[in-house]
Amino acid sequence: MTESLAYKTKRIIEHYGFNFKKGFGQNFLVDERVLDKIISAGEITENDVVIEVGPGIGTLTAALAKHAFKVISIEIDKTLIPILNRLLEDYDNIELINGDILKTDLNEIISKYPDKNIKMVANLPYYITTPIIMNIIENHIKIDSVTVMIQKEVAYRMKAKPSTKEYGSLSLSVQYSCEPYIAANVPNNCFMPRPNVDSAVIRLKLLDKPAIEVKDEKFLFEFIKAAFSQRRKTLVNCIFSSKIVKLDKEEIGKLLVENGFDEKVRGETLSLEQYGKLADAFLPHKTE
């Protein structure tokens, strides 16, 4: 009988005397079926260079290496490096980097593989999900897709549509640059140790060009952030109190009406296209 992943993980942890560090979001995947789902959702092929965030003890890393041209894994916890070197020694297509993903220059890695598709695949440390994804979106990092295990609630926020309780600035930022697809819901008993939240595997396919065209992308994101800065407040109040434009409440309301919106409209009801239209209309009044 083959050894289960849960048993194997426990054996490795004990053998190396490894102590889980909560601060690094260390919840290792111990379910083979979920592992297969991540690989198939990522559609990993021999032409792919995969950037993996946080290999842990290399479970996903090894599975990725079997399908990809190369896997580049970035792990912050230096105590895992000797363990990973040992456990992954049979693979010649894995590069291990001891570092912080938030301080890693992804463009430098990507520039070394001009003929390959670059994909990010990871069971992410949940405390840095948003900064990792926003870095890719805001800096237009040339990645084909991002397939990641994240907190379920965050995955559904990324995919949410207007007028739902999950809809917010994250939904809009993600959908501006990506097509999100939820590949699996994953209960907390698929991890060791078990996290307090349920998880989901989401694939974000980066679009060739943004879903809408605007005059100033940075201002669009600022406008969206302002619109969701105070839940249950009208857009007029949110835009006014965020001070992103040099207009008083009356002038903001007037500009909304001129663009075909109700003066009392709320940010959570507006689509990405409508945000694009409003960001362009408010741009000439932007605070310097």
Binding residues (CB under 6 A) for ligand SAM: these are 24-29, 53-56, 59-60, 74-77, 100-102, 123, 125, 128
Nearest residue (CB) to ligand SAM, 125 versus 276: 125
91/8 Cα distance (integer angstroms): 19
Closer residue to ligand SAM in complex, CB, 6/283: 6
Least distance from ligand SAM to the Cβ atom of residue 66, Å: 15
The amino acid occupying position 4 is S
C-beta closer to ligand SAM: residue 101 or 204 = 101
Q: How far is the CB of 51 from ligand SAM (least distance, A)?
A: 11
Q: Minimum distance from CB of 7 to ligand SAM (Å)? A: 14
- 24 or 219: whose CB is closer to ligand SAM? 24
The distance of closest approach from Cβ of residue 147 to ligand SAM in the complex, given in angstroms and rounded to an integer, is 12
In the complex, what is the shortest distance from the CB of residue 235 to ligand SAM, in angstroms, rounded to a whole number? 35
Identify the sign of the CA torsion 156, 159, 163, 168.
positive
The CB-nearest residue to ligand SAM is 54
Q: Which of residues 61 and 171 has its CB atom nearest to ligand SAM in the complex?
A: 61
